[in-house]
Structure 1
Amino acid sequence: MSSRSDSNNNSTSNKNYRSRDKKEKKKAFRKQTNDYLCALEQFCRRAQNVDNMLENLKPFSTYNKNDLTLTLSYMKSELFDDSVRDEIFLIFEQNMREMYEKSDVGWIRKEKWEELFDSDARYILARGEDGLLHGFVHLRFVVEDNQDVLYCYEIQVNKISQSKGLGTFMMKVLELIAFYNGFSKIMLTVFDINEEAKVFYKNKLGYVVDPFSPDEEEECDYEIVSKVIKNNPKIDRPKLPEGLTLTS
C-alpha cells in the first residue's frame, strides 16, 4: 500500500509535468506564430518587389469604353518624376481635400504627400493616348491582423472621367492582382461622409465592413471595408498555425 507521502509526491510530479508540458506547448506555439508572421512579411515583401503586376494581365491593361481609350501601367512611386507626382496629387486634392477638411484628421498637405509617395507605394496609372492621367490606384501589400492584404490606399478618377466605369474596372484589376498573387483579401478605408463611395464599394463591388474596422465606441469618422479573395491553389502561401485565430 502506498503511503500518503508517496501519493503527495506523485501528485506534485504530475503537476510539475503538466506545467512543463504547458510551457513547452506555449513556447512551440509562439515559435510557430513568429515563423508564420515572418513568412507572411516575406510573402508581402516579394509582392512589393515585383516590377510589373500587370505583366500577366495584359487583357486588362487597356480600357476602351464610354469614350475612354486608356492604357494602364504599374509603377513604383520611387520611379516617379516631379511631373507625375504633381499629376497624382492634383487629382487627389481635387477629389478629397474637402472631405479631409471636414474629417477629424483634417487636411495636412505634407502628410498626404508623404503617404502618397512613400517608398512602399505602388501605383496603377490609367492614361489616355495624349498622356493625360485619367485615374490611379495607390496600393500596397501588407500584413494586417495576421493576414496578407492588398491594401487600396487610394483610388481616384479625374473629374472629367468619372461615371464612365473606370473606377469599377480598376477595382476589378486589383482583385485579379490579389488573386494571381495569392492574397487573402483587399482592404480599404472610407470616410463616413463619403456615402457615394460606400455605396460603390458595398452595393456594387460586394465589400463589407471589416472586423478590423473601428467600432462605435472608438468614435472614428471612417470605416474599413474589405473583400475576401478566392484562394489561388497555385500559390504556396504561409500556413496559419493551428490555434492562431483571425478576426475575419
Structure 2
Amino acid sequence: MESKRVQNSREKKIKRKEVLGKKKAIDEVIKAASAEKDHLASFPPFRQYERNGLSAYLESGSGEQLSSTRKRYIQNLLKVNMEGPYGPEWATEEKVKRREMVAPEARYIFVRESSNASTNEVSSTREGNSTCSHWMGDGDPIVGFVQYRFIVEEEIPVVYVYELQLEPCVQRRGLGKFLMQLIELIARKNHMGAVMLTVQKSNLLAMNFYTTKLRYMISTISPSRVDPLIAAEKSYEILCKAFDCEAKSKLEENGYLGEE
C-alpha cells in the first residue's frame, strides 16, 4: 500500500509539473506577443490598402498611448456603429468599452485615408466634404480601427478582437476582410491557437460577414453552446477561427454556421 501511495504521489507531482510547465509556456507566448510594439512590421504589404476606390494606410497603436483626440474618435465611432445593435444595453456597454479602450494590453491598428485619395467614386457619400470621417485631429483622417488583445481562453493562447469598427462610408469595400486577414496573420506569427471575437445577435450583417465570408464558428464558450437556456438571455455570440487541432477541439467542435 505504501508503494502505491508513493507512486500516486509521484504521478500527481509529475502531472502538476506538466500543467505548470504548459501554463508557463503559454504565459511566455502571450508576454512575447504583447511586447511587440508594431505587429504591422512583419507584414509590409498590409501597410497599404488600395482597392475599390479607397486609398488608405495602416498604423499601430496601444491603449496606454492613445491621445485624447483618438479616444474621442473611438468613442464617437463606437456610438455611431454600435448603439443600434446594443439597444437598451448601450448605456452600460459604452462604459465598459471606455475602460477596455485604454487598457495597457489593448493593441490597435488604425486605418488612415490617404490625402491623395481620389474622391470621384465616393462623392455621393461625402456630400461635398473632403472626407467622410468623424476624425477631428491632425493628419490624414482615420476611417476605422481594430482593437485586439493577446489572451488565454480554455488554456489556448488567442488573439481576441475586441473591436473592428469602420466609418459607414468605407464599409463594403473589402477593408474589413483585409483587416481580419491581417489579424489572422498576426495571430499565427505570434503562435496563437485561434482568433476570437464577440458579435451581437442583432447585428445580422456582422454575423453573416464573420460566419459566411470569413468562415468563423460559434465557439464552445459562447452562451448558446454552453447552455441554451442561459443563451436565451444573452444578446451575443462568441465566434472563433482555430488554427490547430488542440484549439479546434477546445474552442470550436463543429460550431460552424456559414453556408456551404
TM class, shorter-length? 0.7 to 0.9
Q: Secondary structure at the residue paired with 2:172?
A: coil
Q: AA paired with 1:65?
A: R
Where does residue 117 of structure 1 map in the other structure?
102
Identity %: 30
Equivalent residue in structure 2 for 1:224, among 238, 252, 255: 238
Query: C-alpha distance in 1, partners of 2:165/2:244?
Result: 25
2:10 aligned with 1:24: yes
State the distance in 2 between where 1:151 and 1:116 align: 14
Within the alignment, does 1:182 sit opposite 2:191 as a pair?
A: yes
Q: Which moved more, 1:41-50 or 1:26-35?
A: 26-35
Which of residues 77, 81, 85 in structure 1 aligns to 2:67?
Answer: 81
Distance 1:40 1:101, change over 3 A: same
Q: TM-score, normalised by structure 1?
A: 0.83
Determine the C-alpha separation between the residues in 1 that align with 2:4 and 2:167: 64
CA shift at 1:73, angstroms? 0.8
Structure 1 residues 45 and 123, CA gap change in structure 2 (3 angstroms) = same
Q: Secondary structure at the match of 2:109?
A: strand
Q: CA deviation at 1:167?
A: 0.6
- CA distance in structure 2 between the aligned counterparts of 1:204 and 1:119, rounded to whole angstroms: 32
Structure 1 or 2: more helix by fraction: 2
Matched residue type, 1:66: N
- Aligned partners of 1:246, 1:17: CA distance in 2, in Å? 36
* Equivalence for 2:215: 206
> Structure 1 residues 155, 27: closer, same or farther in 2, change over 3 A?
same
| 1:173 correspondence with 2:159 | no
Q: Which residue of 1 aligns with 2:202?
A: 193
1:11 matched residue in structure 2: none
Partner residue of 1:134? 143
TM-score (norm 2): 0.79
Q: After TM superposition, give the deviation of residue 198 of structure 1 in Å.
A: 1.1
**Take 1:197 and 1:38, find their aligned partners in 2: how far apart are those partners?**
36
Runs of 5+ consecutive residues of structure 2 not aligned to the other structure? 116-139, 253-260
TM-superposed deviation, 1:74? 1.2
**Separation of aligned partners in 2, 1:247 and 1:230:** 10
Q: CA deviation at 1:164?
A: 1.1
For 1:56, the equivalent position in structure 2 comes to 42
Aligned residues: 221
Seen in structure 2, the aligned counterparts of structure 1 residues 206 and 247 have a Cα distance that, compared at 3 Å, is closer
- For residues 160 and 93 of structure 2, what CA distance do their matches in structure 1 show? 22
* Structure-to-structure mapping, 1:85-164, within 5 angstroms: 85-103=71-89, 107-130=92-115, 131-164=140-173
